[in-house]
Amino acid sequence: MPNTRTANAARLEFAPDSLVQSNLSGAAFTGDWLWVAGDEACGLDRLRLLAPVGSEVLRFGEVRDFPLSDLLDLPGTAEEEADLEGMAVTDGFLWVVGSHGLKRKNTKPDREHADNAKRLSKVALDGNRRLLARLPIEPDAKGEPCLVRQAQDGRRALRLKGDAQTNLLTRALADDPHLGPYMSIPGKDNGFDIEGLAVDGSRLLLGLRGPVLRGWSALLEIAVETHGEQLRLAPLDDSGTLIRKHFLQLDGLGVRDLHFSGDDLYILAGPTMVLNGDIRVFKWPSARPLLAANREPVRFESALIESVHLPHGRGINRAEAICALPPALSGGKARWLVLYDAPGADRKEGEHTVFGDLLRHD
């Protein structure tokens, strides 16, 4: 288990016009290259490993943007945020998932009470939030990994079939007895909100920040397959099951990110609503073979191991992304990079540089 944190050990240098800036919500590596997502953009950024500065362990910069509109036919407009929350790299693809959740307007301190009451009553759905896609990674002429619409070997950028209102996943959950009632509730109100993604072959795990039901957090297990120009849900077994639900005991916290390490699944967890509360890392031992052998449509898992508590502030420094460092960057030891949404002044340098933490074994 990761049990030691090195604070501000990783420097990420963005540019003034970068798609992603400081509110980081997803991360994944391909070799020396770090891919990051932000919850206020409709695209991804790629950063190169650079020589570290001073006592810092890792430094990334020379950012390049990859707008999703260049890679996919989006359900919404190119200007609408995708609220990307989960990322994973496997088999030459970068997988991404949006929150899929509704959003509620917030109040503003300079508005009248009546105006704020109207704002707080407004619920909306950006057309790109309900996005689940895989994007081919292919080296360019300089050997640098790039996201492409179609790779030379035939791999294509595809998304789960749907439109600006629904997709195959939300339709399948509409009548679900546990999650269906929460599909019309904004994510930050303990409504439906995807924030974690882990991929194992054709099987995907989607971690839900909300809803948390009587203290039980949920993972959705699905499989996808290519169908024409889009992805569709594939049966998980001979009986045609399209979604399996795994309820986890995370002490009332919701899932913020997921990451496989060998057979184990690591879970970054934090408050489901807008709270300044605990952010922790849990380990589900031997989750990979257990999930492969499981045939139960709904199961409960409480044998999780809790490790490190991560810092948080009042409205700042919310850990949102965790991913393993490649062995070449970690000295052959098991280390994880943790990135933060709403970084505070202690995690920023100027307007376009932010810092993440490293977790490691002692």
Distance CA 118, CA 112 (A): 10
Closest CA to 322 of 26, 7, 1: 26
**pLDDT tens for each residue of 203-248:** 999 999 999 999 999 999 999 999 999 999 999 999 999 999 999 9
pLDDT of residue 243: 98
Closest CA relative to residue 12, chosen from 361, 338, 362: 338
pLDDT along the chain (362 residues), means of 10: 80 93 91 92 95 88 96 92 93 96 94 96 93 97 96 97 96 97 95 96 95 97 96 96 97 95 94 84 95 95 85 83 91 88 89 91 60
What letter would DSSP give residue 248?
Answer: E
User: What pLDDT shows up at residue 60?
Assistant: 97
Mean pLDDT of the chain: 93
What is the pLDDT, as a whole number, of residue 47? Answer: 97
pLDDT of residue 209: 96
| Residue pair 187/124 in contact by the 8 Å Cβ criterion | no
Instruction: Record the pTM.
Output: 0.95
Q: How far is CA 195 from CA 55, 57, 209, 267, in A?
A: 32, 27, 6, 11
Cα angle vertex 205, ends 46, 313, to 5°?
Answer: 60
Is 20:325 a contact under the CB 8 Å cutoff?
A: no
Which tokens belong to 264? 């184990």
Q: What is the pLDDT of residue 120?
A: 95
pLDDT in the model for residue 4 = 80
**End-to-end distance of the chain based on CA atoms, in angstroms?**
9
Query: Residue 51's Cα: distance from chain center in Å?
Result: 27
Dihedral sign, Cα of residue 39, residue 45, residue 46, residue 51: negative
What's the pLDDT at 1? 61
Q: Whole domain around residue 347: which residue ranges? A: 4-360
How confident is the model over 271-316, as pLDDT tens digits?
A: 988 777 789 999 999 999 999 999 999 999 998 997 778 878 787 8
Judging by DSSP bridges, how do beta strands 4-13 and 158-159 pair with one another?
unpaired
CATH (domain of 186) = 2.120.10
Count: domains in the chain = 1
